[in-house]
Amino acid sequence: MRYENPLHLAEEAAALDQIADGRVALGMSRSAPEIAQRGWEAFGYRAEDPRGADLARANFERFLAAIEGAPMAQAAPLGEQYPTSCAPGTPLRILPHSEGLRQRIWWGSGTTASAQRAARDGVNLMSSTLVLETGQDSFADLQAAQIAAYRRAWKEAGHSWTPRVSVSRSVFPLLSERDRRLYGLAASGDQVGELDQSPTTFGRAYAADPDALVRQLQQDAAVASADTLLLTIPNQLGVDANLSIIENFARCIAPELGWVPSTRGPQEQDPLLL
């Protein structure tokens, strides 16, 4: 959100949501650390925070207000040669407007505080393969604790609908010698380091035969806490390799975790998305 014009983004999101018949799932965040020093300034934006967190926050709040239909401008006195149906000074919202879009917005959170803020904002929660926190607990347990804090904050906020929560995992089913050769060494444990000047826990990568993967994912506290699992795949390997990973997961792993290929209408969504 540090680089986005919030009103332009709101118009694009609403248009896409209408085209998709209310099926947009739009994930947003401050964005990851970058190589550019205050790169958003090259796009004409200013921030006090050296990471641009204040800019991202202000842009996100304006975006949410815009998709909700809050006035963003006033009708101008155009004169007789440019007739308008709006009286001068009439509040104007962005167009198009897509009803209910806010319920399809997701915020990418890395800390307990930002997860709680997402709950107060009334948006769904995305949690990736890292959290900007460390401790004695495993990555999955830290992430599950963030999810629990989000849901408590959601209940306290008194929103009238039930949100969704997603977690991301790197998962490589090993079904062939080729899979073992390409991904067999990808399995790893949790790692602790630093990202964006914050202590960070990086989650493990899963690589094993299907039966072992199902057991491991069922024992993952955050996967059990979430209702949506997103796959993180190494896109630098190309389309064919990525498609193979997704197909193997969909065929051998996802059904064991409760996923059923969708036969539902556009307003209904599966509990597990690939």
pTM for this predicted structure: 0.84
Residue bearing tokens 């444990």: 189
Count Cβ atoms within 10 A of the Cβ of residue 75 and give its class: 0-12 exposed, 13-18 middle, 19 or more buried: middle
* Rg for the chain, CA atoms, rounded: 21
> pLDDT per residue over 175-193, tens digit each?
999 989 888 888 888 888 8
Domain spans, the chain: 1-78+85-102
> pLDDT per residue over 82-112, tens digit each?
555 677 778 889 899 999 999 999 998 888 9
> pLDDT per residue over 202-223, tens digit each?
889 999 999 999 999 999 999 9
What is the spatial distance between Cα 274 and Cα 255, in angstroms, rounded to a whole number? 12
Element (H, E) at 228: strand 228-231
> pLDDT per residue over 39-79, tens digit each?
778 887 888 877 778 888 889 999 999 999 998 888 877 65
Angle (nearest 5°) at CA 31 between 187 and 92: 140
Which strand ranges, in their side-by-side order, compose the sheet holding 130-131? 130-131, 198-202, 191-195
What is the spatial distance between Cα 79 and Cα 84, in angstroms, rounded to a whole number? 9
The predicted pLDDT at position 271 comes to 43
